[in-house]
Amino acid sequence: MKRKFEDFELGEVIGIGTVGTIYRATENPTKQTRAVKILQHGVSQDENIVSRFEREMLILSKLNHPNIVSYYGGGRTEDGRLFYVMELIEGGTLKQLLQAHNKLSWHETINYGIQICSALQHAHNHGIVHRDLKPANLFLTYEGQLKLGDFGIALDTGESDLTASGMTVGSWLYMSPEQIRGEEIITGQADLYSLGCLFYEMLSGGPPFQGTSFPVIFEQHLKEIPTPLHINVPETPKSLQDVVLQQLSKAPQDRPFNARMIQGIMSELKFDWEEDEQRYQKELSRLRIAFDADPFTVYTPSRDVPWKTLILWFAILGMGITILALLQNS
């Protein structure tokens, strides 16, 4: 949907990312509150970044789901920069919730997990692989409704990929083995692996692999088996433990068939919060505590290491190992 920039009155900055700035905005004449993401001046002439921003807008325009941040069209500012309009989430992120409370109960995990699975299944049905599923990209309202956002590096399998073959993209604590290897074909199974890492963290208080550096974490994703959940969280139902560990299988074909299958297992375990008012109010209180402790924004900038920096680090690490070997042999 084509939008006119002058139809929006910009308010405070609520997020600054690597390529875009997000503003709280009021849409005229409806006076509805929105979030407007504008491409930054410094990158607005970079053809690759502009193409990625346009691809993100195209992907969002294909998705319409209650658990995905809504897209309301885009266009260009007076000075020619791209912008798009999206739903403003009044609340926080799953990252904030985990930082405040360390881990979640298995009841909370399946409540949010069902919503994430529903969003992912919708995206996968439309040929979209998110490729960057992590707590910071999962937004929560004060009422506990979850919204999947940030499709900046998502893959649209119906379009040509803007990511060069062999390039590693994603967030290393949640990255699937096939993403780490830079495989040419990435499917929705990669998202299910990342989702398994996410569920593991929600239940236990930390991701399944937590090495001292990203090369160590990459090696763990590729070769190591995570500590069984029953060791640290024995109260977790066995069916939930089993499906999370299946999601963490190294080979994509060994993971659950799709997100709907995981959602079905969780739905069988679902505890009806509304029938337990005390539990329901307690969980809403946990959301308020987490989000009000960090009220600045839910659209926080990414702290992930860019792929060019990863290559540089790998090169320096390789040189260091070579120098040590030469010194030992001299």
Q: How far apart are CA 194 and CA 138, in angstroms?
A: 13
pLDDT in tens, 91-103: 999 999 999 999 9
CATH number at residue 78: 3.30.200.20
Instruction: Give residues with Cβ within 8 angstroms of 248, minimum separation 6.
Output: 193, 196, 197, 200, 208, 226
Catalytic residues: 132
The answer to whether residues 195 and 267 belong to one domain is: yes
Helices and strands, counts by H and E, the chain:
11, 10
Cα pseudo-dihedral 48, 44, 124, 121, rounded to 10:
150
pLDDT in tens, 84-127: 999 999 999 999 999 999 999 999 999 999 999 999 999 999 99
pLDDT-derived band at 328, boundaries 50, 70, 90: low
The answer to whether residues 65 and 103 belong to one domain is: no
Structural domain includes residue 326: no
pLDDT, residue 290, reads 87
CATH number at residue 218: 1.10.510.10
Q: Is the peptide bond before 29 cis (omega within 30 degrees of 0)?
A: yes
Instruction: Report DSSP letters for 40-95, one per residue.
Output: -GGGTT-HHHHHHHHHHHHHHHH---TTB--EEEEEE-TTS-EEEEE---SEEEHH
Decide which of 27, 62, 86 is a domain's last residue: 86
Q: What angle do CA 112, 113, 117 make, to 5 degrees?
A: 120
The answer to whether residues 70 and 95 belong to one domain is: no
The answer to whether residues 29 and 113 belong to one domain is: no
Q: What angle do CA 57, 24, 305 make, to 5 degrees?
A: 60
Q: What angle do CA 103, 104, 107 make, to 5 degrees?
A: 160
Total domain count, the chain: 2
Instruction: Give residues with Cβ within 8 angstroms of 296, minimum separation 6.
Output: 14
Strand 91-93 and strand 138-141: the pairing is antiparallel
Containing domain of residue 134, as a range?
Answer: 91-308
Structural domain includes residue 318: no
pLDDT, residue 169, reads 65
Greater pLDDT, 317 or 139: 139
Structural domain includes residue 217: yes
The answer to whether residues 54 and 163 belong to one domain is: no
The answer to whether residues 79 and 99 belong to one domain is: no
pLDDT in tens, 188-236: 999 999 999 999 999 999 999 998 888 999 999 999 999 999 999 999 9
The answer to whether residues 71 and 212 belong to one domain is: no
- What is the residue whose two structure tokens read 């002058």? 6
Structural domain includes residue 323: no
Can you say whether the dihedral through the CA atoms of 154, 159, 164, 165 is positive or negative?
A: positive
Q: Is 217 helix (H, G, I), strand (E, B) or coil?
A: helix
Residues 272-286, mean pLDDT to the nearest whole number: 70
Give the full edge-to-edge strand order of the sheet including 146-148. 91-93, 138-141, 146-148
pLDDT higher than 50, residue 307: no
